[in-house]
Amino acid sequence: MSQFSQTNSGGIDYRRRQKVARLLQHLVILLGAAVLTIYALAPVTWLVSSSFQTEAEIVSVPPHWIPEEPTLQNFEAIFSATEEEEITYETRSGQDPASGGYIPSTAKNLIPSMWNSLIVASLVVVLNLLVGVPAAYALAKIRFWGRDASVYFILITRVIPDIALVVPFFLVIRKLGMLDSLGSLVLTYLAVTVPFSVFILVQYFEGLPDELDKAARVDGCSRFQALLRVFLPLSLPSLVAVVLFTFLTSWNEFLLALMFTQTEASQTLPIVLAAFTSDFTISFSFINAAGVLAIVPPVIVAVVFERYIVSGLTAGAVKG
Amino acid sequence: MARIRFENVEKKYANGFHAVKDLNLEIRDKEFLVLLGPSGCGKSTTLNMIAGLEEVSDGSLLFDDELVNYMPPHKRDVAMVFQSYALYPHKSVYDNIAFGLQMRRAPREETDRRVRDAARKLEIEHLLDRRPSQLSGGQRQRVALGRAMVREPAVFLMDEPLSNLDAALRISMRAEIKELHQEMQTTFVYVTHDQAEALTLADRIVVMRDGVVQQIGSPGDIYERPRNTFVASFLGNPPINYIEGQIKVTDDQMVRFVQGELELNFPAETAAKLADCDGLTVLLGIRAEDVEEGSHGGAGAVLTGKVNSVLPVGSDLFLGFELFGNELFFRVGKDIGHASGDEVSLTVDLNRLHVFDKDSGASLIW
Amino acid sequence: MRHLFGYEERSAALFLAPVMLVLMGVAVFPIFYSLYISFFRIKLTRPNRTPFVGLDNYTDLFTNELFWVSVVRTVTFSVVSVTAIAVIALLISLLLNQNFRGRRVLSTILLVPWAIPYVANALMWKWIYDSGYGALNGVLYQLDFIDKYMIWLGDQDKTIFLIANAFVWKEVPLAAILLLVSLKSIPSDLYQAARVDGAGVWQRFIHVTLPAMKPGFMLVMIYETMMAIRHFDLFFILTEGGPGDASHVLSWHIYVETFRNLSFGSGAAMSYVLALVTFALSYVFIRTLGRRI
């Protein structure tokens, strides 16, 4: 490129213009990167910052952007709030929400709810893999009668809005006596995760050469053995993507959990968190600390597995 | 030991594509059979049906008189080499070769012996611990061959195995595959679109087009006695030349090809076959190499025309002629100096003329 | 002799059986059951009387003023959000399509909003918009844009836009990644050809980049519209539909009808309407993705 403009007539002029253009481009990129970083991180940073502030500091006007006396008391409160402590109207009003930092009775549910979230998410992940992998292999590598119909069927189930499933789910689950159980969550989360998982896996399997499948079968593999011994070992990146997406979706899900859970036996983290926000007596510093706890695991997962997530999003085109 | 028989076999895909039409073919035991044709002619589909990778839509496919239409590939005793080699990327070369035996539960020592044996024959012993990604194209090709060899299958299938190699390697691998066939004493079915490969390797060639068999025969048959214009055109480089004209049977039982000034006399044997064709419009086929420089053939055997282009190809010289509105190419010795615009006379080898019906394209003499 | 279904069909059926069973149970059955329910008057407050009412739930719906308010709110929220998402995501994808040091870091940072749970996102924005101590007030006050703290979410005219902002912030990364994919899929010879033809930067953007991004853009717009019209979490935590009916969107309306008024029949009818709208919207979406596999 640059040699060409130099050898052209009026080379110096071109060189200069190109230099200016390149400088301008760098400037725009730098500016864009700065704006994007601030846009994406400022709100989270503010949340994290205020979770390290005392109740007294958090109510200052204008706000302290950086805590002057950083404290871990909000987090300590969460982790120590496990023992049963009767909270009555008296003990509640005995603490001044403006200065003392009121810790709600539901605080002790926070850690168990994280466990609930973890259990539900793990089960959903396992089930997704169990039903998703064989289905994806069949759709990607077997030319069978009804394949296109199956693909469209799965795609259609993917666009059913979760809110349209709430009423029928609720009535069925109530009839089965499964309200307020982790099982009901696992089942219903399958509806919002399986179609997407199948989609990611199909896209990946399609990318593996058909001849590999043929070679395996001529070499003596049944369909099942070809999947198990040839495709499964090769599909690790897509399996990781499925695990990540399914896990994050389950971990973050709110609407269905709100409908089907009632007590700490099944409440997941988002539910407990949401309960805090509707209680005006709870101090913001405590809520923020809880929010940070909810944010940390998925963000770590996203950052560590960035490569798999981006490729999974690319393959699956859109998260369902 | 394997004979393969196709009886009225059809292959239709779900999308309506009719890949193979009414195929009747018997592949003999220990034969080297080549399926030849342009892409989309149904040759790979035919191979896949033998392997069991595609199901037969209608008709019967028999291995030694046993119907195998519905037998899945892992139950058939076939091995296959693919164009892309299709080596398992996550397995070492050793495991790639051994996989087929492992899947068939061969004893461990037996597997090991056979793998090392094949590796030695193919000169890839030093590569056994590598991964396919660390190999060159030619090496991958050998591993793919090894993977098929160790199985000692009843039928050895190859789907354009040399297409991904560069030209020089392709020629030497051709020779090796031929040796392999002699050594293994099994039935080989080989798919290619490369006429030169087909002519060198095959005992018999099956030429296919649009799912229909055009001709089955030995390489000599196919090349010397093409049964229609498609087969004639598909083989030969540069391709066969056609001149449109009429058959004229004279009173003295001479048969001539006539086009304007041009008159060519058919030799007696050919003439006998064309005796009923007086006045028929035909395509006269002359292979590029079936001419000689000069007019020594005399009347009724000489083509004269103006040179349009001169194309040296190293070993030979191709002359392009403008004749009756067609561009014809002939192969002449490279020592002959000609320039564009020269008037040149060529003597045609009358015994090697091909005559096709213009409308159907079918040969009138073979 | 002839098998109707061969080995391929049999093994495919076996492999697809689990997924089909699951999807039948958790997606197909519920959606049809929902249709069935919507023909009855089901109130959990009187569980023993569930009369069949035919299409009454639907006709009631269309004469209910609050339903139409919720439709207007949903449309406003969706149009504002999707437009903002498309514009911001386009800018981000163009930025990330450049080659510069730190590009990887930047795209990792971009994943942060995507990864955090919606509830945490809602909680975070609630705190930012807080009238007493929130960051929005703080920033604007320190920059002298306002001379006293405002009650942001309590302002009928602003609520829906503030919620849209929180929604956009979380949805933009995904949209940007998808647009980046379609940017990257443009062959570079196309740009070179345009250059040789004398097209400048702007012309290349208009004549090469934008047309090539059209399918990706369609996908993003449709997907984000589907997400926006069904969105619930932010409305639940930030405003509960208020103030007044300023953020009373359809999903919130369904929630109130079903779980506060305990009218499951009409709740089902409404969610069915929402599902049908989503299906209609997703036609192009499904066709596009279906063709890709």
**pLDDT tens digits along C70-124:** 999 999 999 999 999 999 999 999 999 888 888 889 989 998 999 999 999 999 9
**Whether residue C72 sits in one domain with residue C203:** yes
3-state SS assignment for residue C81:
helix
Put simply, the answer to whether C279 touches A224 (Cβ < 8 Å) is no
Whether residue B362 lies inside any domain: the answer is: no
Answer whether residue A199 is part of any domain.
yes
To the nearest whole angstrom, how far is the Cα of A193 from the nearest Cα of chain C?
Answer: 10
Q: Which of B56, B70, B74 is most worth mutating to test chain C (most C CB atoms within 10 A of its CB)?
A: B70
- B52 & B115 share domain: yes
Contact B86, A214 (CB under 8 A): yes
pLDDT band at A88 (very low <50, low <70, confident <90, very high): very low
What is the rounded average pLDDT of the residues C2-15? 75
For chain B, the average pLDDT equals: 89
Give which of B55, B61, B75 to mutate to test C binding, by max C Cβ within 10 Å.
Answer: B55
Tell me, what CATH number does B246's domain have?
2.40.50.140
Together in a domain, B211 and B322: no
With respect to residue A163, please indicate whether it lies within any of the assigned structural domains.
yes
% of residues, chain B, pLDDT over 90: 52
My answer on whether A209 and A281 are in the same domain is yes
Does the beta carbon of B55 lie under 8 angstroms from any beta carbon of chain A? no
Please determine, for residue B219, whether its predicted confidence score (pLDDT) is greater than 90.
yes
Separation between Cα atoms, residue A137 and residue B19, nearest integer Å: 25
pLDDT of residue A69: 78
C7: distance to nearest CA of chain B, Å? 7
Instruction: Tell whether B134 and B102 lie within a shared domain.
Output: yes
Q: How far is B75 from chain C (nearest CA, A)?
A: 12
Q: Measure the CA–CA gap between A212 and A205, rounded to whole angstroms.
A: 11
Same domain assignment for residues C19 and C73? no
Any chain A CB within 8 A of the CB of B78? yes
Cβ contact, residue pair A60, C133, below 8 Å: yes
Among A63, A139, A251, beta carbon nearest to C135: A63
Does residue B261 surpass a pLDDT of 50? yes
Confidence tier at A90 by pLDDT (50, 70, 90): very low
B32-36 and B204-209 strand pairing: parallel
Q: Which residue of C has its CA nearest to B68?
A: C1
A220–B78: do the CB atoms touch at under 8 Å? no
Spell out the long-range contacts of C239-242 with Cβ–Cβ below 8 A and sequence spacing 24 or more. C239/C153, C239/C159, C239/C163, C242/C159
| Cβ neighbours around C195 below 10 Å, total | 15
Closest C-alpha to B35, from B170, B281, B204: B204
Residues of B in contact with A234 (CB under 8 A): 89-90
Q: Does residue C60 surpass a pLDDT of 70?
A: yes
pLDDT value at residue A320: 34
Give the Cα-Cα-Cα angle A33, A38, A41 (nearest 5 degrees). Answer: 115
DSSP string, chain A: -HHHHHHSTTHHHHHHHHHHHHHHHHHHHHHHHHHHHHHHHHHHHHHHHHHTS-HHHHT-SS--SS-SS---HHHHHHHHTTS-----HHHHHHS-TTTT-PPPGGGGGHHHHHHHHHHHHHHHHHHHHHHHHHHHHHHHH---TTHHHHHHHHHHHHHS-HHHHHHHHHHHHHHTT-TTSHHHHHHHHHHHHHHHHHHHHHHHHHHS-HHHHHHHHHTT--HHHHIIIIIHHH-HHHHHHHHHHHHHHHHH--HHHHHH--STTT--HHHHHHHHHT-TTS-HHHHHHHHHHHHHHHHHHHHHTHHHHHHHHHHHSS--
Mean pLDDT for all residues in chain A: 82
Q: Is the pLDDT of residue B338 over 80?
A: no
* A99 pLDDT tier (thresholds 50, 70, 90): very low
Pair (C95, C239) in one structural domain: yes
Which residues in A lie closer than 8 A to residue C174 (C-beta atoms)?
A: 313, 318-319
Q: Which of C2, C7, C8 to mutate to test the interface with B (most CBs of B within 10 A)?
A: C7
pLDDT of residue A102: 59
Q: Is the pLDDT of residue A85 over 80?
A: no
Among B48, B103, B111, the residue to mutate for chain A (most A Cβ within 10 A): B103
Domain tally, chain A: 2
Residues C58 and C21 in one domain: no
d(CA A310, CA C184): 13
Selecting from C8, C109, C254 the residue whose C-beta is nearest the C-beta of A41 gives C109
A154 plus A286 within the same structural domain: yes
C32 part of a folded domain: no
Task: Give the range among A225-234, B332-341, C27-36, C166-175 with minimum mean pLDDT.
Answer: B332-341
Q: What is the 3-state secondary structure (H, E, C) of B148-162?
A: HHCCCCCEEEEECCC
Q: Is residue B366 part of a domain?
A: no
H-run or E-run covering B293: strand B291-293
- Whether B134 maps to a domain, the answer reads yes
A-B CB pairs within 8 A amount to 65
Q: Looking at B181, B202, B234, which one is the last position of a domain? A: B234
Residue pair C264/C42 in contact by the 8 Å Cβ criterion: yes
Query: Would you say residue A296 has pLDDT above 50?
Result: yes
Q: Which residue of C has its CA nearest to A269?
A: C119
In this prediction, what percent of chain A has a pLDDT beyond 90?
30
Lowest mean pLDDT of B105-119, B227-241, B271-285, name the range.
Answer: B271-285
Is the pLDDT at A96 greater than 60? The verdict is: no
Contact at 8 Å (CB) between B300 and B256? yes
Does A282 share its domain with A176? yes
Task: State the pLDDT confidence band at B115, using cuts at 50, 70 and 90.
Answer: very high
Of residues A309, A139, A154, the one with CA closest to residue A240: A309
Looking at residue C65, its pLDDT comes to 87
Task: Give the total number of structural domains in chain B.
Answer: 2
Give the helix/strand (H/E) hosting C93: helix C65-96
| Of the partner residues A145, A147, A221, the one whose CB lies closest to the CB of residue B74 | A221
Set of chain C residues whose Cβ sits within 8 Å of the Cβ of A165? 26-27, 30-31, 34
Domain containing B65: what range?
Answer: 4-234
> Using the beta-carbon criterion (under 8 Å), do B88 and A230 form an inter-chain contact?
yes
Pairs of CB atoms within 8 A across A/C:
307
Helix (H, G, I), strand (E, B) or coil at B138: helix
Are B136 and B57 members of one domain? yes
In a domain, C31, yes or no: no
DSSP type of residue B362: B
Closest CA–CA distance from residue A89 to any residue of chain C (Å): 24
Q: Examine residue A152 and state whether it is found in any structural domain, yes or no.
A: yes
Considering only CB atoms, A160 lies closest to which of C18, C258, C275, namely C275
Does pLDDT of C1 surpass 50?
Answer: no
Interface pTM, i.e. ipTM: 0.85
pLDDT at A98 over 80: no
Q: Is the pLDDT of residue C59 over 90?
A: no
Residues in chain B with CB shorter than 8 Å from the CB of C8 are 55
CATH number, domain with residue C71 = 1.10.3720.10
Task: Give the domain range for residue A29.
Answer: 3-50
At residue C160, the pLDDT reads 92
Do residues C129 and C239 both lie within one domain? yes
How far from the centroid of its chain's Cα atoms is residue A252's Cα?
A: 6
The verdict on B252 and B136 lying in the same domain is: no
pLDDT score recorded for residue A84: 46
Q: What is the per-residue pLDDT for A60?
A: 76
Quote the pLDDT of residue A204: 87
Mean pLDDT of A131-147: 90
The reply to whether C42 and C21 lie within a common domain is: no
User: How far, in Å, CA of B191 to CA of C249, rounded?
Assistant: 64
CA distances to A151, A250, A265, C123 from A270, rounded to whole Å, are 33, 10, 14, 10
Mark which of A32, A50, A68 sits at the end of a domain. A50
Residues B192 and B272 occupy one common structural domain: no
- Which chain C residue's Cα is nearest to A59? C133
Q: What is the pLDDT of residues B224-260, one digit of tens each?
A: 999 999 999 999 888 899 998 998 888 777 888 888 8
* Full domain range(s) for residue C9: 1-26
Chains meeting B at 3+ CB pairs closer than 8 A?
A, C
Q: What is the mean pLDDT of residues A167-186?
A: 88
Domain final position from B234, B253, B278: B234
User: Do B11 and B144 sit in the same domain of this protein?
Assistant: yes
Number of Cβ atoms within 10 Å of the Cβ of C95: 22
Chain C residue closest to B67 (CA)?
A: C1
Position B8 scores a pLDDT of 94
Burial A133-167 (b: 16+ CB within 10 A, else e): bbbbbbbbbbebeebeebbebbbbbbbbbbbbbbb
Share of chain C above pLDDT 90, in %: 29
The answer to whether the CB atoms of B73 and A218 lie below 8 A apart is yes
Computed over its alpha carbons, how large is the radius of gyration of chain B? 25
| C278 CA: distance to closest CA in chain B (Å) | 30
| Same domain membership, residue B328 and residue B289 | yes
- Given a cut of 50, is residue A91 above it in pLDDT? no
Q: Assess whether pLDDT exceeds 70 at residue C293.
A: no
Domain final position from B234, B255, B283: B234
Give the pLDDT score at A12. Answer: 64
Asked if residue C164 and residue C78 are part of one domain, the reply reads: yes
> What pLDDT does A103 receive?
66
Contact map slice: B 61-80 vs C, CB within 8 A: 70, 72
CA distances from B67 to B30, B73, B78, B83, B256 (A): 20, 14, 15, 28, 51
Whether the predicted pLDDT of A194 surpasses 50: yes
CATH of the domain at B76: 3.40.50.300
Are residues C3 and C43 part of one domain? no
Residue with the bigger pLDDT between B30 and A91: it is B30
Looking at the structure, do residues B148 and B246 belong to the same domain, yes or no? no
Q: Max alpha carbon distance in chain A (Å)?
A: 89
Cβ–Cβ of A306/C223 closer than 8 Å?
no
Output the CA–CA distances (angstroms, integers) from residue B152 to A225, B77, B101, B147, in the order listed: 21, 9, 10, 10
| Separation CA A85–CA A94 (nearest Å) | 15
Our CA-based measurement puts residue A129 at a distance from the nearest CA of chain B, in whole angstroms, of: 21
- Based on the fold, state whether residues C63 and C158 are members of the same structural domain: yes
* Phi, psi torsion values for B258, nearest 5 degrees: -125, 130
C-chain residues within 8 Å CB-CB of B70?
3, 6-7
Decide if pLDDT at B268 tops 70: yes
What pLDDT, on the 0 to 100 scale, is given for residue A25?
Answer: 86
Nearest to B88 among A143, A212, A217 (CB): A212
The verdict on residue B159 lying in a domain is yes
Instruction: Provide the number of structural domains found in chain C.
Output: 2
Q: Return the closest-CA partner of residue C84 out of C205, C179, C172, C214.
A: C172
The reported pTM is: 0.84
Q: What's the CA angle centered on B108, arms B106 and B110, to 5 degrees?
A: 70
Per-residue pLDDT at A7: 47
Classify burial at B214, counting beta carbons within 10 Å of its beta carbon; exposed 0-12, middle 13-18, buried 19 or more.
buried
pLDDT band, very low/low/confident/very high, at C24 (cuts 50, 70, 90): very high
Write out chain C residues lying below 8 Å of A40, CB-based.
109-110, 112-113, 173
> Is C33 within a domain?
no
| Tens digits of residue pLDDT in C236-266 | 998 888 788 888 999 999 999 888 888 888 8
Residues C219, C151: one domain? yes
* B328 and B262 part of one domain: yes
pLDDT at C5 over 70: no
Residue A50 and residue C254: Cβ atoms within 8 Å? no
Cβ–Cβ under 8 Å, residues A268 and A20: no
DSSP state of C243: S
Is the pLDDT assigned to residue A318 strictly greater than 50? Answer: no
C88 or A145, which is more confident: C88
Q: What is the pLDDT of residues B6-50, one digit of tens each?
A: 999 999 987 889 999 999 999 999 999 999 999 989 999 999 999
C-alpha separations of C116 from A286, A295, A303, C40, C110 in Å: 18, 5, 11, 39, 11
Question: Do residues B48 and B174 share a domain?
Answer: yes
* Buried-exposed string A23-47: b where 16+ CB fall within 10 A, e elsewhere: eeeeeebeebbeebeebbeebbebb
Task: Tell me whether residue B290 is in a domain.
Answer: yes
For residues B288 and B166, state if they share a domain: no
Say if residues A147 and A135 touch (Cβ distance below 8 Å). Answer: no
Residue B81 pLDDT: 93
